[in-house]
Chains A and B, each alone.
Chain A
């Protein structure tokens, strides 16, 4: 298995866009191609992460449409869906193909449009029994919050701090959907969605796209200092054990272990992290699942300032899904984009000083009382 490098990255601003999926995807791809200094003809395979286009836009085959706009055609192109982990699964697929020697250069794009007309809730239908019986997406995480608070004494204020921190970071990110800082009171007093998660504890609907170029060591030499090694990649699905504990995701712990082993790192080596903070409770649990702190200590971790910019290991310097936005298929790729900037020293006001080891974690979907897919990627600046 060969080493794989991220040699170019690009994204659009996340937020509300009138433009189509293709237009957004094209912009991200163009930015990534320019960043890498390569041409469409250099790309040997394309991977596109998108989750909801068939349901919301009535479109399928997004990848081929987007890449064609960017002048990419004829090569193997594959569309990847794994709920919120669509983009990161697409990254993993490209990584595997290059690592396995099939291609020397591939492009990955993630693109999504979930902003709905005012007053219209996001509704992807009720195919599954739980959805027919009242399940809503925030509901599942409301349970995790309830059980974490019950078992470990995690408080609502600690949960709210996740949103405050990420909105503070988002204000420093020109690509973020939200640029206004928030207070704990504002988060706690915003409209209740599903007890105890309030509106500002949940990520928004967003439109946007992000893209990266992956390459073999040979091709990476051409971009020199800009290239960052994608040292570890893991993907797990749930075991759907029926009566498992809701206060942690064992599939996340498994994916983290696998990715760290691959990259030969320990949690203490990690300098900067991007996680799936779709709901404030998620980030708290991810501190524990990724080994940044021990089980149950997640609330204390943010209280003591460790995950803020300037802290021991900043989490979601980009603003995360909460403030940067969450175009579902794009988020997994956008995390890699942010971490590449961090490792290159190009992250502007949100730069984590001397960042060398970065971790991206994202998970998606619900199945029974578990989640469907979890990816963990490790990036290292050699």
Chain B
């Protein structure tokens, strides 16, 4: 994941820890996505699909609020392409420990017809206007008090290729 800071250091072990308590990264929350993203696979967020009404939810949930049927939800990997719905550039420090300035907002995922909260890659709001096409990236976005990288997700504007 790109970051504007040249000084940043990222620790990215290949395997999961065995018998050791020090982990250089922690997930922001469990069950949101797979990390490290396996080679050759696209990063994806884990949502829930209601098999009755086809509505998609993120993060995953057990019951559809409308259909309310037990066992009616299955896990669905959300499509990685999105369109920015709203964005802002924050200049104050966030409780999450993200250093300002940073951008976040809401992303519509056309394939899954869902809008989700997300951080954005970059700090130029002009490149993050509503309507911008973005794609999902998964990786470290903040560091906790123990110096461990916190793994989360962001959306990055799709680089357009000029023909």
Contacts and interface: CB of A to CB of B under 8 A. Distances in A.
A adjacent to B, CB under 8 Å: yes
A191 B91 CA distance: 9
Nearest to B56: A242
B104 interface: yes
Contacts of B115: 242-243, 369
A143 B86 contact: yes
A146 B104 contact: no
A336 B100 CA distance: 38
Interface in A106-130: 121, 123-126, 129-130
Contact of B86 (A126, A129, A130, A246): A246
Dominant secondary structure of chain A at its interface with chain B: loop
Interface residues on B, range: 35 or more
B33 interface: no
Contacts of A142: 88
Contact of A134 (B29, B32, B57, B96): B96
A132 B117 contact: no
A194 B98 CA distance: 14
Contacts of A143: 86-88, 105-106
Interface string A155-175: 000000000000000000000
A369 B130 CA distance: 16
A134 B106 contact: no
Given A133-B104, A134-B102, A369-B117, A146 B91 contact: no
Dominant secondary structure of chain B at its interface with chain A: strand
Contacts of A243: 85, 108, 113-115
Contact of B89 (A126, A130, A150, A195): A195
Interface in B74-129: 85-96, 98, 102, 104-106, 108, 113-115, 117-119, 125
B160 to A, nearest CB: 22
A146 B87 contact: yes
A150 B130 contact: yes
A146 B89 contact: no
A195 B125 contact: yes
A194 B87 contact: no
A134 B105 CA distance: 9
B114 A242 contact: yes
A312 interface: no
B114 A194 contact: no
Contacts of B98: 134
B89 A194 contact: yes
Question: Which of the listed residues A124, A136, A192, A368 has the most CB atoms from chain B within 10 Å of its own CB?
Answer: A136
A125 B105 CA distance: 20
B91 A192 contact: yes
A26 B27 CA distance: 46
A131 interface: yes
B82 to A, nearest CB: 12
A56 interface: no
A195 to B, nearest CB: 4
B152 interface: yes
Interface string A179-204: 00000000000011111100000000
A121 B93 contact: yes
Interface string A354-376: 00000000000000110000000
A368 B106 CA distance: 10
A135 B59 contact: no
Contacts of A193: 90-92
Contacts of B150: 132
Interface in A134-160: 134-136, 138-139, 142-143, 146-147, 150
Interface of B: 28-29, 32, 55, 57, 59, 85-96, 98, 102, 104-106, 108, 113-115, 117-119, 125, 130, 141, 150, 152-153
Interface of A: 121, 123-126, 129-136, 138-139, 142-143, 146-147, 150, 191-196, 242-243, 246, 368-369
Given A123-B95, A133-B104, 12 more contacts: A132-B28, A132-B150, A132-B152, A134-B98, A134-B141, A135-B104, A136-B92, A138-B90, A143-B105, A146-B86, A194-B91, A195-B125
